[in-house]
Structure 1
Amino acid sequence: MDKIEVIARRIFGWKLNRWDRWYDYENNKFIPVSEFQPEHNLDHANLIVEKLKELGFTYKTNGVSEACFNYVCETGETLAEAITNAAYAIADNSSVPEEWL
């Protein structure tokens, strides 16, 4: 699984309906894969921020290239990329120590 697929499945709970679209059970809608690009689109990355806040994570950023959820901090060339990297670190179970969550 790539980074976006891990986030879509493990954070949002979306299922891949076809090779080119996700199904969001919570909102009962299809999301084309091409329309969810959080690494490149800050609005999409902010959807991740809001979802993780709903799940109890605290979000902090330097506003430019670093994003933190609780004690999980990651950087990126852009804020959107940093948010995506931090979310991936959380969603990829093997990369975050249990006590940080």
Structure 2
Amino acid sequence: MNKTEVIARRILGWKLNRWDRWYDPEQGVFIHDFQPEESLDHALLIVKRLKSFGYTYTATEEHEVCFNDVCENGDTLAQAITNAAFTLADNSTIDDGWL
């Protein structure tokens, strides 16, 4: 799985409906062309979701962010958020309640 898939599945709890469309079962909506590294609006969905799980979001520098003690940077704020979320999701034990 790539970064987007890991984040969509493990953090947001979405299911892949088609190659270009995700389904959010909590909201009952389809999300087209989810690109959190490219779109700040998409990246902020990740921030909102992680905050709901109790993570603290901090932007430490222009393009560096932290979720609790997991910090990453990127060329843009959206990339930094995506990188930090991916590191968190890929390297942490995810509670079954997330899925």
Q: What interval of TM-score do these two structures reach, taking the shorter chain for normalisation?
A: 0.7 to 0.9
Structure with the largest fraction of helix = 1
CA contact (8 A) 1:72 1:96 kept: no
1:79 counterpart = 2:65:
no
Alignment map for 1:13-92 (pairs within 5 Å) = 13-32=13-32, 34=33, 36-62=34-60, 64-92=62-90
2:36 aligned counterpart, secondary structure: coil
1: CA distance, partners of 2:17 / 2:50: 23
Query: How many matched pairs?
Result: 94
2:3 paired residue number: 3
State the 4+ residue runs in structure 1 displaced beyond 3 angstroms: none
Counterpart code for 1:85 = N
How far is the alpha carbon of 1:19 from its aligned partner?
Answer: 1.8
Identify which range, 59-68 or 78-87, moves more after superposition: 59-68
- Report the TM-score when normalising by structure 1: 0.86
Percent identity between the two aligned chains: 63
1: CA distance, partners of 2:45 / 2:31: 13
Identify which range, 61-70 or 71-80, moves more after superposition: 61-70
How far is the alpha carbon of 1:62 from its aligned partner?
Answer: 2.8
- Report the TM-score when normalising by structure 2: 0.88
2:58 aligned counterpart, secondary structure: strand
2: CA distance, partners of 1:15 / 1:80: 22
2:12 paired residue number: 12
Which deviations, in whole Å up to 9, do the C-alpha atoms of 1:58-80 show, x marking residues without a partner?
01003521010000000001111
Segments of 5+ residues of structure 2 without an aligned counterpart are: 94-99
CA contact (8 A) 2:60 2:66 kept: no
